[in-house]
Amino acid sequence: MKLAVVAAGMLVGFVAAPAYAGQARRAPTQSPGPSVTVNGQTWTQQALFQRNVGGPGDMTTAFPPHKVIGNIYYVGTKSLAAFLIVTPAGNILVNSTYERNMPLIQKSIEQLGFKFADTKILLGSHAHGDHQEGDALVKQMTGAQVMAMAEDVPALEAMKPEGKPHPIDRVLHDGDTVTLGGTTLTAHLTPGHTRGCTTWTLTATEGGRTYDVAIVGSFGVNPGFQLVNNPAVPNQADEYERAFKVARSLKVDVPLGSHPSMYNLEQKYPRIGKGPNPFIDPAGYKQEVDLAEAMFRAVLAEQKKAAALP
């Protein structure tokens, strides 16, 4: 089955794996979905999704590469985050994004004074093409070891740009760690958005202080996503519940995410170097979790009502 396009070409040409079927649109017209008001701002489900994926071209236009904190750098596009974690033993790339973004990511890495060829490990946020389609190409270009959460492996294996098999060198499980050159990342299974959606945590040091950093996989419910009676994932809503429990258990000073709008990069970027590091934003993390959870509960309530469930 070929999937309907959810928005902005995000899933174009992507052939559905069974675990992916919940992403298919249920109605031919795109309704705005339920709306929630959190922290004084009102969002519809569709508007929140659009906030993440951005406008036309945002997914494939470079955002100025920059240092986030410590040894963590931003090398992604305007709406698709990619992070480079630099260590004396080589670098870790989190998210390849689309294959066609590879020249742009390579250029961003070089602009920061690093080498793409030094990429030793490739990690990902979750098994959707806009975050991990480029994995095979990164492997081809750098020889990086590709590591993925076990629950995302089936969906990743179904991702074969131009027929290339998806490389997976190490299968991770919830709580596993990845270490390179003195930096350790912990993989937290935060399922729902995909079955193996992963939130990465690590620490970063700046000005003699150590900060807890989280790269959130996603807590979002895309328009048309079936939380109730999903044939592919019968306990779909429970998976999100697990993700929110994990999200609230993490201590986060520096929230990052698979889409930069999840942590307000556009507002923070101009403040770099003009006072305290703008990416230190524990309150922003809580607000984003509150917003995502409120939207999840609103969508779940609407779908339960439509299915005449209690």
By CB under 5 A, name the binding residues for Zn ion: 128
**Least distance CB 187 / Zn ion (angstroms):** 17
Could you tell me the smallest distance in angstroms from the CB atom of residue 68 to Zn ion? 21
Taking CB atoms, the residue at the shortest distance from Zn ion is: 128
**Helix H or strand E encompassing 52:** helix 45-53
Checking phi first, is residue 72 left (phi over 0); if not, alpha (psi -120 to 50) or beta? Answer: beta
Phi, psi of 94 (to 5 degrees): -110, 110
Shortest separation between residue 79's beta carbon and Zn ion, angstroms? 12
Q: Which of 218, 184, 178, 181 is nearest to 204 (CA)?
A: 184
Any idea how long the chain is?
A: 310
Q: Which is nearer to Zn ion, 93 or 180 (CB)?
A: 93
Please, what sign has the CA dihedral across residues 69, 124, 228, 246?
negative
CB of 219 to Zn ion, least distance (A): 11
Distance, CA of 67 to CA of 71 (rounded, Å): 8
Q: Looking at beta carbons only, is 49 or 114 nearer to Zn ion?
A: 49
| Cβ-based nearer residue to Zn ion, 128 or 166 | 128
The residue (of 52 and 183) whose beta carbon lies closer to Zn ion is: 52
Q: Which is nearer to Zn ion, 78 or 128 (CB)?
A: 128
CB of 11 to Zn ion, least distance (A): 9
- Within 116-223, strands assigned E span 119-123, 145-149, 170-172, 177-180, 183-189, 198-206, 209-216
